[in-house]
């Protein structure tokens, strides 16, 4: 059988101009694709699999490693010597940006936004925030957590000051209106999944993934369709409602056609979103996510975080129970491991109650 790298180079697995984009290959790829027999037995479900993108290697891993390979490739191609990014206080994106910047000898400026109301001391200082400091990032704060354009503008102001100092900054933008360079990482991941499934004779019916910024969700959907694979992709909303999220996914898929030069028709009916596990809001733990976190840990040895993967895993469990024994489902574990330490107070309370004791 051909190796994954041989298959990837085959014309059958080419996706437009994807491989022409500059890229800093820092991740540990491909990541494992594993079966979850204990969970499947517990749920009386079919074949359940997990794509271990929590194992991408850099600074506790996660989906942002794939995404940032393309951003840092572009930054280096532009001659940048510093990188700027904005995100939530416990942002995995920010943490991995700081780590890769350190690895590549670049200065890093991170802006942390207050998105989670009532967050305590551990949330403000532990987990990803502690790692940002350890990696030597220059940290500033933005008080308004739902003002993406304002957050980006403040980054541009910082970039202007850096230029005055003779530096060459590169901004990883947050707000809509910029090409989804990050999503290229998951166009490539879609190809990786297709190859792994072919090698293992796995026929997937559905892929479930967290849908926040939309880069991972849109990249997977576009990549699969570009390879003529019709596997359903379901995004579990972790930041905003399905009603508000769908426009982001549509726009990003359209922009990916421009980035790759391969026009793909993705109708609105092909964009599946579920926001039943979002409440009470971004970054706030709920009962279903808490139960999913415990099930993942106690049946499959997984570490899930309250913001993204516990909620999306709750959605995965729901989909698996609906699908029945004849279906094969894949959960994309997007990482977020360090953030769990920022939620010690909430997790302690959860573990003291009910079956978690």
Known catalytic residues are 91
Phi, psi angles (nearest 5°) of residue 60: 75, 5
Q: Which contacts (CB < 8 Å, 24+ apart) does range 100-106 have? A: 100/24, 100/26, 100/58, 100/59, 100/65, 100/68, 100/72, 101/72, 101/135, 101/137, 102/135, 102/136, 103/26, 103/58, 104/24, 104/26, 104/72, 104/76, 106/75, 106/80, 106/81, 106/82
CA atoms within 13 A on the CB side of 193: 32
Q: Determine which helix (DSSP H) or strand (DSSP E) holds 98, and give its type and residue range.
A: helix 92-103
Helix axes 242-260, 215-226, angle to 10 degrees: 50
The answer to whether 206 touches 231, Cβ cutoff 8 Å, is: yes
Phi, psi angles (nearest 5°) of residue 108: -130, 130
Q: And the tokens for 210? A: 């967290």
Identify which of 62, 38, 32 has the alpha carbon closest to the alpha carbon of residue 295: 38
The answer to whether 180 touches 74, Cβ cutoff 8 Å, is: no
Q: And the tokens for 110? A: 């991170």
Identify which of 170, 159, 156, 173 has the alpha carbon closest to the alpha carbon of residue 76: 170
Burial (CB count within 10 angstroms: exposed 0-12, middle 13-18, buried 19+), residue 106: buried
The answer to whether the bond into 87 is cis (omega within 30° of 0) is no
Q: Cα dihedral angle (219, 220, 224, 226), rounded to 10 degrees?
A: 0
Task: Find the farthest-apart pair of alpha carbons in the chain and give their distance in angstroms, rounded.
Answer: 62
Residue with tokens 């599946």: 272
């Amino acid at each position: 059988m051909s190796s994954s790298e041989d298959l990837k180079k085959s014309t059958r697995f080419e996706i437009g101009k994807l491989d022409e984009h500059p890229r800093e290959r820092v991740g540990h790829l491909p990541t494992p694709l594993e079966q979850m027999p204990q969970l499947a037995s517990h749920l009386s479900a079919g074949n359940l699999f997990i794509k271990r993108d929590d194992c991408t290697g850099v600074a506790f891993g996660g989906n942002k490693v794939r995404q940032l390979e393309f951003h840092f490739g572009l930054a280096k191609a532009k001659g940048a010597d510093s990188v700027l990014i904005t995100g939530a206080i416990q942002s995995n994106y920010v943490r991995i940006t700081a780590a890769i910047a350190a690895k590549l000898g670049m200065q890093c400026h991170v802006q942390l936004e207050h998105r989670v109301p009532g967050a305590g001391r551990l949330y403000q200082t532990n987990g990803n925030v502690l790692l940002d400091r350890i990696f030597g990032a220059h940290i500033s704060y933005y008080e308004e957590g739902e003002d993406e354009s304002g957050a980006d503008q403040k980054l541009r102001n910082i970039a202007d000051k850096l230029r005055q100092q003779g530096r060459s900054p590169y901004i990883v933008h947050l707000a809509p209106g910029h090409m989804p360079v990050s999503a290229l990482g998951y166009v490539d991941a879609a190809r990786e999944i297709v190859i792994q499934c072919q090698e293992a004779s796995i026929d997937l019916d559905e892929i479930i993934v967290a849908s926040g910024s939309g880069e991972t969700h849109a990249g997977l959907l576009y990549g699969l369709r570009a390879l003529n694979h019709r596997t359903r992709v379901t995004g579990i909303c972790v930041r905003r409602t399905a009603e508000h999220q769908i426009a982001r996914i549509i726009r990003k898929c359209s922009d990916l056609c421009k980035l790759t030069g391969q026009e793909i028709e993705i109708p609105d009916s092909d964009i599946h979103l579920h926001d039943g596990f979002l409440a009470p809001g971004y970054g706030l733990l709920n009962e279903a996510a808490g139960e999913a976190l415990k099930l993942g840990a106690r049946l499959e040895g997984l570490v899930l975080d309250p913001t993204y993967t516990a909620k999306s895993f709750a959605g995965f469990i729901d989909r698996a129970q609906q699908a029945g024994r004849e279906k094969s489902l894949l959960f994309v574990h997007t990482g977020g491991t360090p953030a769990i330490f920022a939620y010690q107070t909430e997790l302690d309370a959860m573990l003291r109650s009910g079956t978690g004791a």
